[in-house]
Amino acid sequence: MTDSQLEHEATTQSIIAALADPQKTWITLPPAATVPPALRAALDAFDAGERPAAQAAMHWLRTEAVNAYGTSRTRLLIAEHRIAGFYSLASAQVELRQAHRRSLGITQTISSVPAALVTWIAKDPQSGINGDELLLHAAGTARRAAALQAATVLVVDAFDDATAAMWRNQFGFKSSGDKRRLWLPLDETL
């Protein structure tokens, strides 16, 4: 077996083990060519609820997430033999007002700052997990990446005005000027 085949086999076995274990486990969604049938079934069974934002996130996870491996990484929270929630992270930039850049300690004359973008995030409302757990994990992952590649803020692009209000009220996200692109300082997130 080649190294690539061994790695694929190890990934497949760890995914199957996570789905077989009732305890919470985080896994990274692999590229499309290496998704085992059990994980494909779990993706297809994921239900994020009826809200429009939840429906869009569910559709993206089921149909596009595996093909987005080159541009974002999707982390799945497996619990009770199914996907309880997920988020996807990518590198991005966000334009911030001068006052916001100063509050972050950025003194260069730039308007855009490096960011970790939560491209999608959703939970299964029947799973019993709190959505905060997903965002905390995403922030922790972004912080670890920021230690290797600069990122100053955690960014979300709210699906709609109701979702933007939830991000602002529940988590303290701030507007970047675009009412749906919201941010928090990565070093202070949650």
At 152, is the pLDDT very low, low, confident or very high (cuts 50, 70, 90)? Answer: confident
Distance of CA 163 to the CA centre of its chain: 15
Q: Report pLDDT digits (tens) over 122-140.
A: 999 999 898 899 999 999 9
More confident residue, 47 or 106: 47
Q: What is the pLDDT of residue 148?
A: 87
Q: Is the pLDDT of residue 108 over 70?
A: no
Full set of structural domains in the chain with CATH: 3-185 (3.40.630.30)
Q: Which helix (H) or strand (E) holds 165?
A: helix 161-171
| Contact (CB, 8 A) for 69 and 30 | yes
**Poorest-confidence range of 44-48, 90-94, 98-102?**
98-102
